[in-house]
Amino acid sequence: MANRSGWDREGQRALVTGASSGIGAATAAQLAARGYQVHAVARRVDRLDELAAATGCVGHVLDVRDSAGLVALVEHIGPVDVLVNNAGLGRMDGTLAESTLEDVVSSIDTNVTAVMVATMAVLPAMIDRKRGHVVNVGSMAGLYPLAAASYGASKGAVHRLSTNLRLELRGTGVRVTEICPGRVSTEFYDVAITDPVQRSATKDSGVDEVTADDVADAIVYALGVPAHVNINRIELQPTEQTYGGSRFDKVNREG
């Protein structure tokens, strides 16, 4: 009889990007604690060393925007059972009209291209073995309108990639899950908001935020359900946060 229990993942190989802090570090730690051989990818060697010492994971210093390096890493470590595409960034304190070319290119290269390249690299072995799981960390910004067009567009691409992969992978045994957090207490806003006053106001909103461990819990849940179940998407946000409503702003055409 097939094993229909959740956790029979001992010794499986997991690749987690953006693992030096926040959601990535929490996910790497939880997967290592459950017996996965975790390969953690990030740019900060000191953070990776700390994570490896604490969890036993294998750290790889790499900028995910290095597409050739990302493909080479997958070839080096061998078949991946679980890919967690977590690395991401974005500007949240300005409009697209106020963005620089570097802002736009960096967002797309990190949030979209790297996700597609990493997924492309791991899928052939997953399909051959008729098992595997791709977890894409998207955002509520990719599902609902927010005044962050560049970031929202990149995460919207992650959402559509996730849904379309489900169609492409039908009949292969490979699962795809999209995790869409709202506000999470991580270092994200340290990079996303450049103005110190706005950054402080945003970070000190008084809202009881979702934690990195909360998001890691959701990822672990999606991975742990029986193989015949696919968790398509999980949305999670603070209880005090929601999206919706409408706005009307009159344009002053005088002058």
Please report, for the domain that includes residue 60, its CATH number. 3.40.50.720
How much is the pLDDT for 154? Answer: 95
207 phi, psi to nearest 5 deg: -80, 140
pLDDT, mean of residues 13-40: 97
How much is the pLDDT for 95? Answer: 85
Active site residues: 151
pLDDT at 18 over 80: yes
How much is the pLDDT for 206? Answer: 75
Please report whether residue 247 resides in a domain. no
DSSP run (H or E) holding 229: none
How much is the pLDDT for 194? Answer: 60
Among 10-14, 189-193, 226-230, which stretch is predicted with the lowest mean pLDDT? 189-193
- Give the pLDDT band (50/70/90) at residue 30: very high
How much is the pLDDT for 4? Answer: 44
Q: What percent of the chain has pLDDT over 90?
A: 72
Please report whether residue 3 resides in a domain. no
pLDDT at 138 over 90: yes
| Integer Cα distance of 117 and 98 in angstroms | 29
The SS3 assignment for 17 reads: strand
Structural domain of 136: 13-229
How much is the pLDDT for 246? Answer: 77
| Integer Cα distance of 161 and 155 in angstroms | 10
* Residues 156, 106 contacting (CB under 8 angstroms): no
- Helix/strand/coil percent split, the chain, to 5: 45, 15, 40
pLDDT digits (tens, 9 = 90+) for 38-68: 999 999 999 999 999 999 999 999 999 999 9
Per-residue buried b or exposed e for 72-83, using 16+ beta carbons within 10 Å of the residue's own CB = ebbeebeebbbb
| Integer Cα distance of 222 and 201 in angstroms | 34
pLDDT, mean of residues 138-157: 92
The SS3 assignment for 133 reads: strand
Q: Indicate the DSSP class of residue 98.
A: G
pLDDT digits (tens, 9 = 90+) for 94-123: 788 888 899 899 999 999 999 999 999 999
How much is the pLDDT for 205? Answer: 67
Tokens linked to 87: 């690395």
pLDDT at 2 over 80: no
Closest listed residue to residue 88, CA positions, set 195, 209, 184:
184
- Between the alpha carbon of residue 93 and those of residues 25, 99, 120, 142, 244, the distances in Å are 25, 10, 32, 17, 20
How much is the pLDDT for 199? Answer: 45
Please report whether residue 250 resides in a domain. no
Please report whether residue 74 resides in a domain. yes
Q: How many domains does the chain divide into?
A: 1
Please report whether residue 241 resides in a domain. no
- Give the pLDDT band (50/70/90) at residue 147: confident
Please report whether residue 85 resides in a domain. yes
Please report whether residue 118 resides in a domain. yes
Please report whether residue 206 resides in a domain. yes
| Integer Cα distance of 98 and 39 in angstroms | 37
Q: Which residue has the higher pLDDT, 10 or 86?
A: 86
